[in-house]
Amino acid sequence: MSKSVKPNTPIVDHIFTADPSAHVFEGKIYVYPSHDLDHDGPSNDNGDQYAMEDYHVLSLDDFNSPCVDHGEALHLRDIPWAKQQLWAPDAAFKNDTYYLFFPARDHEGIFRIGVATSSSPAGPFAPQENYIPGSFSIDPAVLVDEDDRAYIYFGGLWGGQLEKWQTGSFVPDAEGPAPTAPAIGPRVAELTEDMLNFKEAPKEISIVDEEGNPILAGDEDRRYFEGPWVHKHNGYYYLSYSTGTTHKIVYAMSQNPQGPYIFKGTILNPVMGWTTHHSIVKVEDKWYLFYHDASLSGGIDHKRSVKYTKLTYNEDGTIQTIDPYKD
Ligand code: FUB
C-alpha cells in the first residue's frame, strides 16, 4: 500500500495503470484503469503493444489517504467472448449493482464492448457470456443521468477500429474520411434499464464549431480520436476526448446528452507518451481530472501511470487548460 497520493504523481507505482475512469461510490473515490503489462510483441498504430489481460480496481478514501489496490477484478480468461486486449474500462452504478463496461477483441479480432457485474464497487466482476449485441470499437464511458437514464459513449480510431464501421458494418480495410470531410464522431446509445443492452442502435455524435460547422477530419487539434468522457455541470453536458495525433484532451458542450456538441477548447496539454486518456469527477464540491502519462516507465508508452489534478471552471462554464507538468 502506498502513502497518500499527491497531485500529478502516480497514484500507484507497484503496477502500471492507464485510462482511468474515476467515480465516487459509497463515499470513496474508485478508479477503474487499464492494467498495462510488459510484452514482447510489436508496437504499432494498431495498438498491439497494449496487450492487457486483466483489470485491477483502485480506491482512495480521500486525497489524504493511500491508494488501495483491490487486486484482480476481472481476467481475460473468464470472458468467454474475448480473445485479447482489455482496454479502457468504465464503471457505473444502477439497480443496486455495479457494472464494469470494457472493450476487448473478440475471437475474430474485432473490438466489442462487454459488461460485467458486481455487488461491490471493488469487484470481483462477473462477465456476461457475450458482448453487448451491436457493440463495436473501444473506450466505453457511461453516464447515469439525473433522471436515471443511462448513456454509453464509445469509439476510437486506428487500433480502436472506429473508421471501419462507417457503413454500419465492419469493413476491415476501410480508412478514415478525407481531411476536408467531417470527422468521425464518437457513438452514443441509451442503455436498457438492466444496463446490459443498447436500447437503440448507436448514433454518431456531431461535434461542431461555434458557427455550427462540423469539425473536419483534417483538424487534428480538435477532431475526435478516442477516449470519450461525458460529465454534467450546471445543466450542461461536457464531452471530453483525446485528439490522438496532437495528444490533447479537449472538450465540447451541449444541453443534450446525445449532442450535437459545440467545441470549446483544451482541458489537458500533451502528456509524456503517445496516448492521453482521462476522466472528470466531482469529489465533495471540487472537480478533479484523472489522467495518465508514461513518465514513471521512462516514456515507454504502453506502460503508463494514472495521476490526478484539480480541474477549474471559469465563470462562464468553460474549463481552464491544465499543464500536466506545472502546479
Ligand atoms: O490503453 C489502450 C488504449 O490506449 C485506450 O483504449 C485508448 O484510449 C488509449 O489510451
Instruction: Report the nearest atom of ligand 1 relative to the CA of 276.
Output: 10
Decide: pTM greater than 0.85: yes
Q: How far is the CA of 236 from the centre of ligand 1 (A)?
A: 26
* Cα distances (Å, whole numbers) of residue 134 to 156, 190, 304: 16, 13, 31
**Tens digit of each residue's pLDDT (9 = 90 or more) over 103-148:** 999 999 999 999 999 999 999 999 999 999 999 999 999 999 999 9
Average pLDDT on 13-32 reads 98
**Tens digit of each residue's pLDDT (9 = 90 or more) over 267-308:** 999 999 999 999 999 999 999 999 999 999 999 999 999 999
Residues at CB less than 6 angstroms from ligand 1: 18-19, 34, 50, 87-88, 138-139, 156, 226-227, 275, 277
Q: How far is the CA of 80 from the centre of ligand 1 (A)?
A: 22
DSSP output for 257-317 = TT--EEEEEEEEPPPSSS---EEEEEETTEEEEEEEESTTTTS-TTS-EEEEEEE-B-TTS
To test the pocket of ligand 1, the residue of 16, 50, 306 to mutate (highest count of ligand atoms within 8 Å of its CB) is 50
130, 122, 55, 42: which is closest to 86 by C-alpha? 55
Residue nearest to atom 2 of ligand 1 (CA): 87
pLDDT beyond 80 at 3: no
CB 231 within 8 A of CB 224: no
pLDDT-based confidence at residue 1 (cuts at 50, 70, 90): very low
With vertex at residue 215, the alpha carbon angle to CA 142 and CA 317, rounded to the nearest 5 degrees, is 60
Which amino acid would we find at residue 256? Answer: N
Reply yes or no on whether 315 is catalytic.
Answer: no
Q: What is the mean pLDDT of the chain?
A: 97
Instruction: Report the nearest atom of ligand 1 relative to the CA of 159.
Output: 3
pLDDT at 196: 98
pLDDT beyond 60 at 2: no
Reply yes or no on whether 19 is catalytic.
Answer: yes
Query: Which is the catalytic residue, given 36, 139, 163, 226?
Result: 226
pLDDT-based confidence at residue 42 (cuts at 50, 70, 90): confident
Q: Which three cell numbers stand for residue 8?
A: 500529478
pLDDT beyond 90 at 45: no
Average pLDDT on 155-172 reads 97
pLDDT beyond 90 at 236: yes
CATH 3.40.50.720 fits 16-311, yes or no: no
pLDDT at 64: 95
Q: Which three cell numbers stand for residue 300?
A: 515507454
DSSP class of residue 65 equals S
Q: 250 vs 302, which has greater pLDDT? A: 250
Average pLDDT on 147-162 reads 98
CB 106 within 8 A of CB 130: no
Which H or E element spans position 140?
Answer: none
Query: Which is the catalytic residue, given 19, 90, 293, 301?
Result: 19
